[in-house]
Amino acid sequence: MKACKTISFIILLTSILFLSCEKEKPANETGTVSDFQGHVYKTIKVGTQWWMAENLNVGSMILVSEVAGDNAVIEKFCYDDNEANCDLHGGLYSWDEMMNYSNTAGSRGICPEGWHIPTDQDAKELEIALGMPSSKADIENSWRGTNEGSQMKVDGTSGLNIKLSGGKHSTASFFNINTSGYFYTSTESGGNAWRRCVSASSKQVARYNTYPKTYGLSVRCVKD
């Protein structure tokens, strides 16, 4: 009987110590950054990188039937041509518009000062910080990892809160809101560019280079 009490006490003590360590685990560092229009975005530190924890929503809305151009005005698409969707999900930008018509990987593009469009390598470093093996991060045009996508999505443990904001085809139509979320990188691949995808139906993260740059996708910025 005495042995049973001793074992029970040890188990209880171990549980208390475990819970104590869990409480002492530091939360991710957070902050904010503003764009030139005064929009304020939450930011989060993941590993050694600082990322925007919200989709960029800067510029003026144009209709789905229009084409963004190099005209000194940042032009965004809002899902279903409804500006309220930009307020909720951020803007959707063609690659050239996002890059502010540069093709240099890591350029500032339309990000706030001191921030830049993530490179493909930046995105890999993020995924590796969330637990993806580096050998998996280089896989092309496939879903990779284990649960990094779940960590990145809204209410995930990373704090990135990537929404399933859908995208815009090159033609006049939108697609996949509440089903998939995408963000461009600034790294070209052939005539296209690398992007990341998360989905309501997958815990993983996809790395693809199959969409033309004329597609409108979400933008996340990373600190210089």
- Report the percent of the chain where pLDDT is more than 90: 88
On whether the CB atoms of residues 137 and 121 are closer than 8 A, the answer is no
Nearest alpha-carbon partner for 61 in 81, 37, 35: 81
User: pLDDT value at position 26?
Assistant: 55
| φ/ψ of residue 187, rounded to 5 | -95, 120
User: pLDDT value at position 28?
Assistant: 85
Measure the N-to-C terminal CA separation of the chain; round to a whole number of Å. 63
pTM to 2 decimals?
0.88
Query: What are 38-82's pLDDT values in tens digits?
Result: 999 999 999 999 999 999 999 999 999 999 999 999 999 999 999
Q: Which residues pair with 182 in a beta bridge?
A: 197
Domain boundaries, the chain: 28-223
Alpha-carbon separation of residue 104 from 82, 91, 112 (angstroms): 32, 22, 17
User: pLDDT value at position 4?
Assistant: 45
Regions of the chain short of the pLDDT cut 50: 1-25
E strands present in 24-164 = 30-34, 40-46, 49-52, 60-61, 75-76, 115-116, 142-144
